[in-house]
Chains A and B, each alone.
Chain A
Amino acid sequence: MNRDEVIDFIHDEAWMLDEGQYHDWLNLWLPNAVYWMPLNWNQQDPVNETSLLHEDNFMLRLRIERLHGARTFSQKPKSRCHHVLNRPRILELTEDSARVATKMHYVETRLDEQQLLALTVTHDLKATPEGIRIAGKRVDILNCDAAFGNIQLLP
Chain B
Amino acid sequence: MTEADLKSRVDALIRPQQVHRDVYTSPEVYALEMRHLFRNVWVYIGHDSQTPNKGDYITAQIGDQPLLMVRHTDNEIHVLYNRCPHKGTKIVIDKAGNTGKFFRCPYHAWSFKTDGCLLAIPLKKGYEGTGLEETEASHGLAPVGAMMNYRGFIFARLAPEGIGFEEFFGDSLSSLDNMVDRSPEGKLTVAGAPLRYMHKCNWKMLVENQTDTCHPMVAHESSAGTAVKIWEEMEKPEGTPTPAAMEIIAPFMSPYEFFENMGIRTWPNGHGHTGVHHSIHSAYSDIPGYLDAMVAAYGEERANAILGENRHNTVYFPNIMIKGPIQQLRNFIPLGPDKTLVESWIFALDGAPSELTARTAMYNRMINAPTSMVGHDDLEMYERAQEGLMADGLEWVNIQRLYEDGEDFSEEAVLNGTTERQMRNQFDAWKRFMIGGAA
Contact = CB atoms under 8 A, between A and B. Distances in A.
A61 B233 CA distance: 12
B266 to A, nearest CB: 30
Nearest to A54: B365
B365 A62 contact: no
Given A59-B245, A149-B370, A152-B376, A39 B193 contact: yes
A102 interface: no
A87 interface: no
B373 A62 contact: yes
B379 A58 contact: no
A83 B422 CA distance: 45
A148 B381 CA distance: 17
B4 interface: no
Given A39-B192, A52-B370, A149 B361 contact: no
Given A37-B371, A40-B192, A50 B346 contact: yes
Interface stretch (A11-19, A68-76, A93-101, A129-137): A68-76
A152 B358 CA distance: 24
B426 interface: no
Contacts of A39: 192-193, 195, 365
A74 B377 contact: yes
A72 B22 CA distance: 30
Interface residues of B, number: 46
A148 B198 contact: yes
Contacts of A32: none
Interface string B357-392: 110011011100111010111011100000000000
Interface stretch (A1-9, A20-28, A41-49, A118-126): A41-49
Contacts of A58: 230-231, 234, 243, 245-246
A50 B365 CA distance: 6
Interface stretch (B79-87, B106-114, B215-223, B318-326): B215-223
Given A53-B365, A53-B369, A147 B198 contact: yes
Nearest to B364: A50
Contacts, number: 116
B365 A52 contact: yes
Contacts of A52: 195, 365, 369-371
Contact of B371 (A49, A71, A147, A151): A151
Given A50-B364, A66-B373, A74-B377, A147 B226 contact: no
B354 interface: yes
A48 B245 CA distance: 15
Interface string B338-364: 000100101010000010011001101
A51 B366 CA distance: 9
B358 A48 contact: yes
Nearest to A65: B226
Contacts of B222: 66, 69, 71-75
B119 to A, nearest CB: 32
Contact of B192 (A48, A71, A72): A48
A62 B379 contact: no
Interface in B191-229: 191-200, 219, 221-223, 225-227, 229
A82 interface: no
Of the candidates A52, A53, A73, the one having the most CB atoms from chain B within 10 angstroms of its own CB is A73
Contacts of A152: 376
Contacts of B246: 58
Contacts of A149: 197-200, 370, 379
Contacts of A54: 362, 365
A62 B369 contact: no
* Residue from A43, A50, A58 whose CB has the most chain B CB atoms within 10 Å: A50
Given A52-B195, A58-B230, A150-B379, 10 more contacts: A39-B192, A43-B192, A52-B370, A56-B245, A62-B226, A69-B225, A75-B222, A149-B198, A150-B375, A151-B370
Interface of A: 37, 39-40, 43, 45, 47-54, 56, 58-59, 61-63, 65-66, 69, 71-75, 145-152
25 contacts: A37-B371, A40-B192, A48-B348, A48-B354, A49-B346, A50-B191, A50-B346, A51-B361, A52-B195, A52-B371, A53-B369, A59-B245, A62-B373, A63-B373, A65-B229, A71-B225, A73-B219, A73-B380, A75-B376, A147-B197, A148-B370, A149-B197, A149-B199, A150-B370, A151-B370
Interface of B: 191-200, 219, 221-223, 225-227, 229-231, 234, 243, 245-246, 341, 344, 346, 348, 354, 357-358, 361-362, 364-366, 369-371, 373, 375-377, 379-381
